[in-house]
Structure 1
Amino acid sequence: MAKSAEVKLAVFGRAGVGKSESTYQHQATIDDETISMEILDTAGQEDGAQREGHMRWGEGFVLVYDITDRGSFEDVLPLKNVLDEIKKPKPATVVLVGNKADLAHSRQVSAEEGRRLAAQLACGFYECSACTGQGRIAELFLELGREVRRRRLVQGKARRRSSTTQVKQALNKMLTKISS
């Protein structure tokens, strides 16, 4: 039986937005391929070096804010900028999640604001409740896993293309020297 592809996903956000510090394994089928997802749920309290290590480890990222905490929402853009800096030259693959949708009566961040930020970050957007299971929690991880897999395929093709181009250029130089 073939080993399934592995995707490393990390969950980031301010402490208290509804995450737990744990690592999970999950198998899913994405586009007819079995994918093993390793999901690191950070606590949001790690020191700088630990946080950077988690960012380097991950291939896809869930950026979580609490819809009842405007400050946690305002943390998202600077966090994405740090991720992009670490993941250069390509921008980080992310989805944006507004958590605690079950507390809509205490909302400080509108769903529209979340959608606008997701559009600015060019990523998917979800609102859910990790507490009650409300929302499309499984779907957001599948979408992120699919996007990581798609980017790998695109990057693999680009690498193969550039390698082929380099070989052609080397052969052309050798043939030019031979014929001169």
Structure 2
Amino acid sequence: MTSLRYDSLLLQSWRINLSHSGLALVVRFLTKRFIWEYDPTLESTYRHQATIDDEVVTMEILDTAGQEDTIQREGHMRWGEGFVLVYDITDRGSFEEVLPLKNILDEIKKPKNVTLILVGNKADLDHSRQVSTEEGEKLATELACAFYECSACTGEGNITEIFYELCREVRRRRMVQGKTRRRSSTTHVKQAINKMLTKISS
């Protein structure tokens, strides 16, 4: 899972099933390169600045190792504002871990809804595919999130757009939450004024 923070955008990439899919995706996004050798037990944090829809955004990207204990994992989930759940299309087990991970995210982040994107990596290995595109699309519909297939190895698929779209989703959620807070604040002020007027009139 990759977690993202907006201004700073907190982005988390969760590497399902200890594959290096998530880290490879982050490295491809940041450097436009693919590095063959990864240590799947390492956790990495990056800062990246980009202009998205004419707005300069600073992202803080945490790529988790997938071997954290429960306390570490919950801390990472609380840290993130947006999440990229990355599975390997050649590994059905990694795909089957997505939904349980999403359920944990929901529990930790409630009452807030979770902003996430589902990504099937290794699209260049279609001959070894164990998870169909249709299955990925169906799961994304259940999770109410965007879905992409890509290849960190070849650059196939718009990897940059995955991260930019997550930034947009976090920004939209912040705007909605800000409006909700303002409405709530206005309501409380009106209630206080009404109480004062009631006391004065009585």
* TM-superposed deviation, 1:14: 2.2
- Counterpart residue type for residue 7 of structure 2: A
* TM-superposed deviation, 1:80: 0.5
- Say if 2:72 is the partner of 1:40: no
- Greater length-normalized contact order (CA 8 Å, ≥ 6 residues apart): 2
- Counterpart residue type for residue 56 of structure 1: R
For 2:7 and 2:84, the matched residues in 1 are separated by: 20
Matches within 5 A, 1:2-21: 5-12=7-14, 13-20=16-23, 21=43
- Write out per-residue CA displacement over residues 149-175 of structure 1, whole angstroms, 9 at most, x where no aligned residue: 111111011101101110100100110
The answer as to whether partners of 1:17 and 1:72 remain within 8 angstroms in 2 is no
For 1:109 and 1:5, the matched residues in 2 are separated by: 35
The answer as to whether partners of 1:23 and 1:41 remain within 8 angstroms in 2 is yes
- Write out per-residue CA displacement over residues 102-144 of structure 1, whole angstroms, 9 at most, x where no aligned residue: 1111000000100000011010000111122211111010000
Q: Quick one: percent identity of the two aligned structures?
A: 75
2:32 is matched with none
The answer as to whether partners of 1:17 and 1:66 remain within 8 angstroms in 2 is no
* TM-superposed deviation, 1:17: 4.9
Structure 2 unpaired stretches of 5+: 1-5, 24-42
For 1:91 and 1:174, the matched residues in 2 are separated by: 37
With normalisation by structure 2, the TM-score equals 0.84
Structure 1 unpaired stretches of 5+: none
Q: CA RMSD in A?
A: 1.3
The answer as to whether partners of 1:14 and 1:75 remain within 8 angstroms in 2 is yes
2:81 is matched with 59
2:126 is matched with 104
Q: Structure 1 runs of 4+ off > 4 angstroms? A: none
* TM-superposed deviation, 1:5: 2.5
- Counterpart residue type for residue 164 of structure 1: T
Match of 2:184 among 147, 150, 162: 162
- Counterpart residue type for residue 96 of structure 2: E
- Counterpart residue type for residue 105 of structure 1: H
- Report which stretch shifted further, 53-62 or 23-32: 23-32
How many residues are treated as equivalent by the alignment?
A: 177
- Counterpart residue type for residue 92 of structure 2: R
With normalisation by structure 1, the TM-score equals 0.94
- Say if 2:185 is the partner of 1:176: no
Matches within 5 A, 1:84-123: 84-123=106-145
